[in-house]
Amino acid sequence: MKEKIIDRGHYVAAPTPEGAVVVPVGQRLSLCDALSGPHAFVLEAGASLDLCLLAFPGSSTGTELTVDLVGEGAEASLSGLYVCKEGEFSLKVIVRHRVGGCVSNQLFKGIVTGSARAAFDGRIIVAPDAQKTKAYQTDHNLLLGVDARAETRPQLEIYADDVECSHGATVGRLDESGQFYMQSRGIPEREARVLQMISFLSPVLEHVPEERREEVAARIEQTVRSL
Amino acid sequence: MTDDNILLDIRGLHASIGDKEILKGIDMTIRKGEVHAVMGPNGAGKSTLSAVLVGRPDYTVTAGTVTFLGRDLLSLSPEERSWAGLFLSFQYPIEIPGVSITNFMKAAVNARRKAQGLEDLKPSEFIKLMKEKMALVQMKGEFAKREVNVGFSGGEKKRNEIFQMAMLEPTLSILDETDSGLDVDALRIVADGVNALRSPEKSAIVITHYQRLLEYIVPDVVHVLKDGRFVKTGGRELVDFIDRNGYDGF
């Protein structure tokens, strides 16, 4: 019991990082970019954040996102894709529900190929008394090639009891039945792989602002074709 | 084997999945324009036969030969078999989220054209072809934008298979349990689509457990498959016999 109290103090009362972007009461902030390096946000009551991370090869070696939900009714939607060909990429996400009645959604998808290493470390923290919190987190990775490595560590720390939280993480390979289905229609193996990669990343595309979707879809296609 | 009318010739075909032998010596000759029905109880090897013909990687051919239009079919990759004119309507079509029917078919049609040394179809020609073939299986305009098989009902999945078949105009179509899970209306749409594609040059293998589909797509030859072998081959009268007596009599 004593340990748990120390934990609470440690995580929940952790200070908001300096230089955090404050999204004021009822305002909305939308970002869609490589977002390399550390980024912190504070969401006041009724504020919303739509963030979409686009980490294409060479554009970033890592991102660290910290989101503090400090006012009731705040909503954070964090999504993103990372495509890694070589070197290391790390994505660290901390979402702190400091008050109740807020929603956070996370959806990340990564393709890791060649000799690349990717690590996802995601933590959702729900403070004591932050009741009626809804927090979800998903991280899926597609591994291509025998030397590629992906590590995913989803974590929930919940100190309130009336909450709805879930997390899911996978590391997998291309679906063989889909591959065969396409080949049986005359689509060559390589092209079938390209379509499957586009298919895998497509749920993230839905989080890209509509006016940029076409451009990002083209970038995705160009990127997966080069893998 | 100098008969020019022979499309597919299967000789002594044995196939396994893992250590389990499923096909135990199949002989089958299909001529141009013929429709062959392969009927049999569950577990007889019907789906294995179709899987082996289109080159599904989890099956191993342990003996026998398959010649398709004079070529050794078993030495070809699945996509090469498609380019050669073979098509399988899947019993369980696969979902491909995030890939539209349009993009999927564009990749398929143009890959085959490339293999034939042709240029990509012009966008306007492609759209015209799509519309024409969609009408054949009564698919509406928004169908082209939908993700392949995602959220499709059972009937829509099977209509999508026949639509793809119409787009690719195969010389030999294999319909694997295309009737399973279809209501009468969907069955009729599927059968009408298949019948519209029949020609003296094109052939089909209709694999089914029941006689129902064969009321709409009338076969020239009927094979009864049981425990990996054809135990009886005959004319369409066999369909009625099976309907009355089941498979126990073979």
Residues A173-210: tens digit of each pLDDT: 988 999 999 999 999 999 999 999 999 999 999 999 99
Q: Residues A27-44: what's their mean pLDDT?
A: 95
Q: For helices B123-136 and B184-196, give the axis angle rounded to 10 degrees.
A: 130
Closest by Cα among B51, B14, B45, B68 to B224: B45
B189 vs A84: CA distance, rounded Å: 46
| Domain tally, chain A | 1
By the 8 A CB rule, do A29 and A49 touch? yes
Which among B81, B95, B108 is the nearest to A187, CB-wise?
Answer: B108
Instruction: Specify if A205 maps to a domain.
Output: no
By the 8 A CB rule, do B222 and B40 touch? no
DSSP strands (E only) in B40-95: 60-68, 71-72, 86-89
Question: Residue B29: phi, psi to the nearest 5?
Answer: -125, 125
- b/e A120-153 (16+ beta carbons within 10 angstroms → b): bbbbbbbbeebeebbbbbbbbbbbbeeebbbebe
Instruction: Specify if A185 maps to a domain.
Output: no
DSSP B74: G
Please tell me which residue of chain B has the smallest CA distance to A206: B98
| Residue A6 pLDDT > 70 | no
Mean pLDDT of chain A: 91
A195 vs A225: CA distance, rounded Å: 9
Please state, for a pLDDT cut of 90, what percent of chain A lies above it.
Answer: 87
Tallying the residues shown for chain B, one arrives at: 250
Please tell me which residue of chain B has the smallest CA distance to A191: B107
By the 8 A CB rule, do A111 and A140 touch? no
**Inter-chain contact B107–A195, Cβ cutoff 8 Å?**
yes
A123 vs B209: CA distance, rounded Å: 52
Instruction: Specify if A16 maps to a domain.
Output: no
Q: What is the ipTM of this complex?
A: 0.94
Question: Residue B79: phi, psi to the nearest 5?
Answer: -70, -35
By the 8 A CB rule, do A97 and A127 touch? yes
Instruction: Specify if A141 maps to a domain.
Output: yes
Instruction: Specify if A159 maps to a domain.
Output: yes
| Residue A7 pLDDT > 50 | no
Give the model's confidence band at A123: pLDDT under 50 very low, under 70 low, under 90 confident, else very high: very high
Give CA B250 to chain center in angstroms. Answer: 25
Strand order across the B229-234 sheet: B86-89, B172-176, B203-208, B35-39, B221-226, B229-234
Closest by Cα among B191, B176, B162 to B152: B162
Torsion sign (Cα): A179, A180, A183, A189: positive
The answer to whether A184 contacts chain B (CB < 8 Å) is: yes
Instruction: Specify if A207 maps to a domain.
Output: no
SS3 B221: strand
Closest by Cα among B195, B207, B96 to B150: B96
Residues of the domain holding A111 = 21-173
Token pair, residue B153, equals 């009902």
Contacting residues of A for B95, CB less than 8 Å apart? 178
In this prediction, the residues of chain B whose per-residue pLDDT falls under 70 are: 1-2
Contacting residues of A for B77, CB less than 8 Å apart? 183, 189
Token pair, residue A24, equals 């004021």
| Residue A157 pLDDT > 90 | yes
Identify the pLDDT of residue A148.
95
Question: At CB < 8 A and 24+ separation, what contacts does A210-219 make?
Answer: A212/A32, A216/A32, A216/A54, A219/A54, A219/A56
**Inter-chain contact A177–B94, Cβ cutoff 8 Å?**
yes
Domain residue spans in chain B? 6-92+153-249
Instruction: Specify if A47 maps to a domain.
Output: yes
Closest by Cα among B142, B145, B120, B141 to B131: B141
A118 vs A159: CA distance, rounded Å: 30
Q: What residues of chain B have any CB closer than 8 angstroms to a CB in chain A?
A: 54-57, 77-79, 81-83, 87-88, 90, 93-99, 103-104, 107-109, 111-112, 115, 164, 168
Identify the pLDDT of residue B61.
97
Q: Out of 1.10.10.60, 3.30.390.30, 3.40.50.300, 3.90.1150.10, which CATH number does the structure's domain B6-92+153-249 have?
A: 3.40.50.300
Residues A51-91: tens digit of each pLDDT: 999 999 988 899 999 999 999 999 999 999 999 999 999 99
Å between B97 CA and nearest CA of chain A: 5
Give the model's confidence band at A9: pLDDT under 50 very low, under 70 low, under 90 confident, else very high: very low
